[in-house]
Amino acid sequence: MHEGCSGSFQSGMQVVDKLRMMGFSYGAMPAPVTVHCSNCGKDFSMETFETKCECGMVCGVTPCHAFSPDHVQAAGIDY
């Protein structure tokens, strides 16, 4: 079930579900990244693999791809 860094996800919900299943959601990112929220348009700092913008949008990124905000995916408001 664990696909390492080669796994692909169809949605941000799948990313966040995987993070939660593996216990990585609130693990610290190697370095914080600034993310542009797809819901409210504000920038926020992502310091854990799963983070919520002030508007409630939950975003996630796998540890393998945590080096770039381009890999962060939105899962939904209060997901």
Strand partners, 74: 59
Q: Report the pLDDT value the prediction gives residue 3, as an integer from 0 to 100.
A: 58
pLDDT at 18: 94
* Residue among 28, 36, 37, 39 at smallest CA distance from 66: 28
Q: Up-side HSE of residue 42: CA atoms within 13 Å toward CB? A: 10
pTM of the predicted protein model: 0.89
58: amino acid identity, one letter:
V
Task: Give 3-state DSSP helix, strand, coil % of the chain, rounded to 5.
Answer: 25, 35, 40
Domain limits, the chain: 10-77
* pLDDT tens, the chain, 79 aa long: 445 576 678 899 999 999 999 999 999 999 999 999 999 999 999 999 999 999 999 999 999 999 999 999 999 999 9
Please give the pLDDT value at position 4.
58
